[in-house]
Structure 1
Amino acid sequence: MKMRLLLAAKRYAEQIERGMSDDELSEALKKSLGIFGGSGGPGRIHVTRQGSGLKIWASHEIHNHVTAKPIFEGKATIEMARYIYNIGNPADMQLPLL
C-alpha cells in the first residue's frame, strides 16, 4: 500500500503542487486505491482498501471488511490525503493575514 501511494504521489506531483479540487482528488484516490485490495502479515498492520467509496480499513489483526467500519471513508479519506500529502484546494481562498 505504501509503495502504491508513493507512486501515486509521483504520478500526480504536478496536480499536488498546484492543488486539487475535491473532485480531482477523489478521482485520483479512486485510481490509486484500485477496485479492491489489501496487505498485511505477521508484525505488520493489516490494510484493506476500496476505491469505490474511498474506503480504507486498518488494524493490528486480520479484519473483516464487511463487518468492520473503515477508518477512513469518503470525505474523511480526501481530508486525510490532503493532510498527509499537503495537497491544497484551489477553492479554499485564504485572506491575507497582514
Structure 2
Amino acid sequence: MARQKRPLTPADKEAVFRIATKALPDRYAAKIAIGMTEDEFIAALGQILGIFGGSCGPDRLDVLHQAAGLKIWGGWHIVNHVTEKPVNQGIATLAMARLIYGISNPDDAQMALF
C-alpha cells in the first residue's frame, strides 16, 4: 500500500522532533539539569543528530536528520531531503529542544518568570 502525502499537524511536528532527538535527554541528563550554553548545546545536538540518519515504518512518521545545519525533516510520506524543506533547522531546532526538554542557558541573563 502506497503512503499518502498529508500535511503535518503541530502534534506531528513535535513527534518528528522527539523521534529525531530521543537520545538527548538520556545521553546529556547531567548537563540538561544544570543548563547548557549555546556552544555546548549545538555540539550536543550535533552528536545526537549525527552525520545523517532517520527512521520510518508502516503507519509511522518518516523522519530524517543531520547535524550539518541542525536539520530535521518529517512527513507521513517518504521524505526527500533534497527537495523538501526541513521541519526544523538551525536556531529553530535549538529553540524547540530548549522548549521541549526544558534546557536552560546559564549564559542567559533573563530571570525566570515563574
Please state which band the TM-score falls in when normalised by the shorter chain: 0.7 to 0.9
Equivalent positions of 1:9-88 (< 5 A) are 9-88=25-104
Tell me the CA shift for residue 91 of structure 1. 1.6
| Number of residue-to-residue matches in the alignment | 96
SS where residue 82 of structure 1 aligns?
A: helix
Q: Taking structure 2 as the reference length, what is the TM-score of the superposition?
A: 0.76
Percent identity between the aligned chains? 50
Let me know the Cα RMSD of the aligned residues: 1.8
Gap regions ≥5 residues in structure 2: 1-17
Distance in 2 (alpha carbons) for counterparts of 1:61 and 1:14: 36
SS where residue 23 of structure 2 aligns?
A: helix
Distance in 2 (alpha carbons) for counterparts of 1:72 and 1:96: 26
Q: Deviations over 1:51-96 (max 9, x none)?
A: 1110000111111000000010111111111011100011222347
Amino acid at match of 2:101: Y
Change over 3 Å in CA distance of 1:92–1:41 after alignment to 2: same
Gap regions ≥5 residues in structure 1: none
Change over 3 Å in CA distance of 1:96–1:90 after alignment to 2: closer
Amino acid at match of 2:43: E
SS where residue 48 of structure 1 aligns?
A: strand
Q: Deviations over 1:30-60 (max 9, x none)?
A: 0001110111111000000001110000111
Q: Taking structure 1 as the reference length, what is the TM-score of the superposition?
A: 0.88
Distance in 2 (alpha carbons) for counterparts of 1:92 and 1:5: 23
